[in-house]
Structure 1
Amino acid sequence: MANKLFDNIIPQEPPTNDRSDVHALKSRLEWGEPAFTILDVRERRAFNEGHIMGAMSMPLEDLERMAATIQKSRDIYLYGEGEEQTAQAAQHLRSAGYESVSELRGGLAAWKAIGGPTEGIVESMTPAGADDYNVVARIKNHTETQNKEV
């Protein structure tokens, strides 16, 4: 007889859609879900100025060469300068055989709008927000951003 004590306690990974909302990515990061990669396909200069924390820089012109280092079955979230660049990169990866590629709607701007963590030269110069050191304010802010339209 199988032990059913732990069944349904650990949530299953959500399926990766062709296009994802930034809330879905933030939720996966907050739950500590493994086995996904965030790709920033903008120029390296833009990446260095600011990007989603943990994203890898993979400029569109280097995508074919660099993507070979990522398993084809891995969940990939990607974003670029705009929807067109993001869609172009996603199509390239899908045609190369990548199974789970998701375009991050709104890119970095949408990510920042919901308070997602960022890093980079410009981002490090941004002063801490009023709620950065107050746990109660951070919880309130988190609740508000979960309902924010992006």
Structure 2
Amino acid sequence: MDAFFSLLPRPPALRSKSRVYDLKARLDWGEPALTIIDVRDRNQFNLSHITGAISMPLPELPARTLNSLEFDRDLYIYGDIDEEAAEAAAKLRAAGYRQVSELRGGLPAWKAVGYPIEATLTAFQR
């Protein structure tokens, strides 16, 4: 029976750097064992972010992840620029997380291909 399941298609494996297409394929696959982390400040997050992402601004890493995420969980990290994601990924790897992927191009790349984004209601309540 295991041989049968090994023949079925699988979503792309986690890499240290991922394209937006890789993350979208995993989301479309319906694989729940991943977390998308937005490392931009909360105001930027509230204006728009990848659907399903959680806000963990760069200065709060890795303290917040240590309290809420397992070390073996697949983490996709993004910001507005690749350097933000790289810095965040380095902090998480140093804290013991091994399944960390930097989303190349960040939110701008995600938006450029028309993938779903959302905004937090409080961003519009001024």
TM-score class, shorter: 0.7 to 0.9
Change (3 A) 1:91 1:7: closer
Q: Which residue of 2 aligns with 1:98?
A: 97
Structure 1, unmatched stretches of 5+, are 126-150
- Supply the RMSD in Å over aligned alpha carbons: 2.1
Q: Which residue of 1 aligns with 2:48?
A: 50
Match of 1:35 among 28, 33, 36: 33
Q: Structure 2 length as normaliser, TM-score?
A: 0.87
How many pairs does the alignment contain?
A: 122
CA distance in 1, matches of 2:6, 2:87: 40
Residue type at the aligned position of 1:94: R
Answer with 1 or 2: which has the greater Rg.
1
Higher relative contact order (CA 8 A, sep 6+): 2
Structure 2, unmatched stretches of 5+, are none
Aligned-residue offset at 1:83: 1.3
CA distance in 2, matches of 1:100, 1:27: 17
Q: Which residue of 2 aligns with 1:77?
A: 76
Work out the percentage of aligned pairs sharing the same amino acid: 50
State the secondary structure of the residue aligned to 1:84.
helix
Change (3 A) 1:60 1:33: same
Change (3 A) 1:31 1:66: same
Q: Which residue of 2 aligns with 1:116?
A: 115
Matches of residues 106-145 of structure 1 in structure 2 within 5 Å? 106-120=105-119
CA distance in 1, matches of 2:69, 2:3: 35
CA distance in 1, matches of 2:53, 2:72: 18
Q: Structure 1 length as normaliser, TM-score?
A: 0.74
